[in-house]
A and B are shown apart, each in its own frame.
Chain A
Amino acid sequence: MAHGWEMQHDPTVVVIGEDVGANGGVFRATQGLQQRFGAERVQDTPLAESAIAGVAIGMAAQGLKPVAEIQFMGFLYPALDQIINHMSRMRHRTRGRLTCPIVMRMPHGGGIHAPEHHSESVETLLCHIPGLRVVCPSSPARAYGLLLAAIRDPDPVMFLEPTRLYRASRQEVPDDGRALPLDRAFVLREGSDVTIVSWGAMIAETLQAAAELADAGVDAEVIDLATLSPVDATTILDSVARTGRLVIVQEAARNVGVGAEIAAIVAEDGLYDLLAPIRRVTGYDTVMPLYRLEREYIPDVRRIVEAVRTTMADSR
């Protein structure tokens, strides 16, 4: 829907990727676009991820705004050479002469019984790269507003779309062309006892956990990070200053995850606000399992509630 709005209003926006044309994308995210805008503005590419990224760079440097789809995040890796060596730094290394207003969309995370390599959440790989923005919406409405913002942004945005949202979420979203801000976290639920930061599909479990905790008398504030890089430190630090406690929930593996950066920011700039140690609820530092065990890997409501309870009990 956001694609359609922006293509209608900005003739420089083009969509490229594998099966994005007649098929409308494997998750139907580009459904109907080729019929509306033609086979040049909505192009199926040959099956080569590095080509998708490299061609997007060439198009963007010559004045187009490509929205490129990588079919699954696990297939991103061949494109990383182009994304890291060129897309992220074209503006920088040409002193602003050539730029890459590109959105790289890709499904993120597991939980939909997909085959091997189809359920990865490796946002950390992208967040470490200077010059990239990394965005992960938590609902259809946020996907609409943030995707519009990503397309309109003059720099490359990695747009991670949680697979569970494609399947599980139903939400009426007005097609009004209204973008949400990038580089900003959103407070989804206010609370005074503990701050829980999460993003993407994990927001659903986090909100459920907050509801359960409320029944047990713990008032949790839930922050949807939304832009994973750069992190909106201000919103998090302000919240922790009020609650004194921080729990971070991420689907990705723990080691050097986005949660680690958030914990480091609060340790550097908000340590004296803390009443209890920071806790992380994360995927494990192992390979994303095939689907029989994926629910054991992905944090669930129980693990989040338990972590918050431990944090409350650990408080000084």
Chain B
Amino acid sequence: MRTVVEFRVEYLQRLDPDGNVVGDLPAFARDPQEVLRMYRAMTLARAFDAKAVNLQRTGQLGTYASCLGHEATHVGVGAAMRAEDVLAPVYREVGTQLWRGVTMHEILLYWGGDERGNDFSGPRADFPWCVPIATQTLHATGAAMAFKIRREARCAVATIGDGGTSEGAFYEALNVAGARALPVVFVVVNNGWAISIPVTAQTATQTLAQKAIAAGIPGLQVDGNDVFAVREAMSAALDRARGGGGPTLVEALTYRLSDHTTADDASRYRSAREVDDARALEPLLRTRRYLEKSLHWDADRERELLAECARTIDAAVADYLAAPRPSSDAMFDHLFANLPERIREQRVAARRHAGTRGH
């Protein structure tokens, strides 16, 4: 017997949990303004997330999927992308979406049960939140195919969770993207848990990054709690894709510090000890330690930042709470460009019954 193929999976880290630099920092991480911008975005995402959970707990928001612990991955992905690139997110990418210009108002509207939340005023070509697991990876692949056909220097990015990598659509997306060398980057946000199933029970594979190997595309792991490593790996993958080098799979190792959603209770299936251990590795802590060591960050500046985030969030929440309910017409108005006659009749019938049922 002889060996036909061998593979290895590399792992990238630039900031360790104590905020110490590992290896050489990339150029963007040597620019203080850029570093502070990323730290602010992570802080804002976390504060917004906490507010959203509170709104749900007080009956002012529907079920919500918290992004607690994912901030470095989310912001690292967003910061590496260009505005003209396209994101196909799952349902947890609050940090990436805020970076790309989806407004808090829109995010709250969506989770508050209103389709207008998917009509992003910022990134007009980005795909909406995607609940059916892994299906969005194929949309990114298709978008990348459109960019390639039109010779546009744009990339698509799909995010997916660790559980999603068990779905057929994920393999299909990787396979098509590899076969056609498409400008797309797949980000597996491996937070350890698919609701109650740990990644060790999800698959026998040692890494999720190596799932790229079967599709003939590069796959690597990054420390998903390290915003520098995520952005560096994503930038390299996007540069390669933009230059015609084809797709990459980036597995970001992080941890879901929250319940799966507000409808979940993770204490039923995982230990408090495990969560405590993970908390020591979380992304904001290490970034703050780095800032304290290298950019004179201190408690005052931290307080100022938190207060500024709170003001921004409070204004968005006030807008959200004041947003009028859509009329019953909203159920029909965007179903087709030209609504068929029989459905127009139903729209009229719905108006007649509107408001008679409360809500």
Contact = CB atoms under 8 A, between A and B. Distances in A.
Given A46-B176, A93-B128, A86 B135 contact: yes
Interface stretch (A59-67, A241-249, A285-293): A59-67
Contacts of A93: 115, 118, 128
Interface residues of A, number: 47
B143 A58 contact: yes
B142 A58 contact: yes
A9 interface: no
A20 to B, nearest CB: 14
A51 B335 contact: no
A271 interface: no
Interface residues of B, number: 45
B343 A230 contact: yes
Output the residue of A45, A58, A130, A183 with the most chain B CB within 10 A: A58
A233 B336 contact: no
Contacts of A54: 135, 137-139, 141-142, 169, 172-173
Given A46-B175, A48-B176, A62-B125, A95 B116 contact: yes
A14 B173 CA distance: 19
Contact of A94 (B128, B144, B145): B128
A154 interface: yes
B146 A85 contact: no
A14 B148 CA distance: 13
Interface stretch (A96-104, A214-222, A275-283, A298-306): A96-104
B187 to A, nearest CB: 16
Interface in A91-115: 91-99
A316 to B, nearest CB: 29
B118 to A, nearest CB: 5
Contact of A97 (B124, B135, B149, B335): B124
A56 interface: yes
Contacts of B335: 91-92, 130-131
B250 to A, nearest CB: 19
Contacts of B141: 51, 54-55, 58
B72 to A, nearest CB: 27
Nearest to B116: A95
Interface string A178-191: 00000100000000
B36 to A, nearest CB: 32
Contacts of A58: 88, 138-146, 156
A249 to B, nearest CB: 22
A234 B341 contact: yes
B153 to A, nearest CB: 14
A40 interface: yes
A81 interface: yes
Contact of A231 (B120, B140, B342): B342
B132 to A, nearest CB: 5
B168 interface: yes
Interface in B109-152: 115-116, 118-120, 124-125, 127-128, 132, 135, 137-150
Given A58-B146, A64-B149, A81-B132, A94 B119 contact: yes
B334 interface: yes
A50 B137 CA distance: 11
Nearest to A63: B146
Contacts of A82: 135, 138, 169
A230 B340 contact: yes
A225 to B, nearest CB: 14
Contacts of A50: 138, 168-169, 172
A183 B339 CA distance: 10
B337 interface: yes
Contact of A62 (B86, B342, B343): B86
Contacts of B143: 58-59, 61-62
Given A50-B138, A55-B138, A131-B336, A92 B146 contact: no
A155 B337 CA distance: 7
Contacts of B147: 62
A45 B140 CA distance: 15
A51 B175 contact: yes
B179 interface: yes
Contact of B175 (A40, A41, A48): A48
Given A93-B115, A131-B336, A57 B175 contact: no
Output the residue of B118, B125, B172, B179 with the most chain A CB within 10 A: B172
B66 to A, nearest CB: 22
Nearest to A101: B337
Given A59-B149, A183-B340, 16 more contacts: A14-B149, A46-B175, A48-B172, A55-B141, A58-B138, A58-B145, A59-B142, A60-B142, A82-B138, A91-B334, A92-B115, A95-B115, A95-B118, A96-B334, A98-B127, A98-B128
Interface of A: 14, 40-41, 43, 45-46, 48, 50-51, 53-64, 78, 81-82, 85-86, 90-99, 130-131, 133, 153-155, 183, 230-231, 233-234
30 contacts: A14-B149, A50-B169, A51-B141, A51-B176, A54-B135, A54-B137, A54-B139, A54-B172, A55-B141, A57-B138, A58-B138, A58-B139, A58-B141, A58-B144, A58-B145, A58-B146, A62-B86, A62-B125, A62-B143, A63-B150, A86-B132, A86-B139, A91-B336, A93-B128, A97-B119, A131-B335, A155-B338, A230-B341, A230-B343, A233-B342
Interface of B: 86, 88, 115-116, 118-120, 124-125, 127-128, 132, 135, 137-150, 156, 168-169, 172-173, 175-176, 179-180, 334-338, 340-343
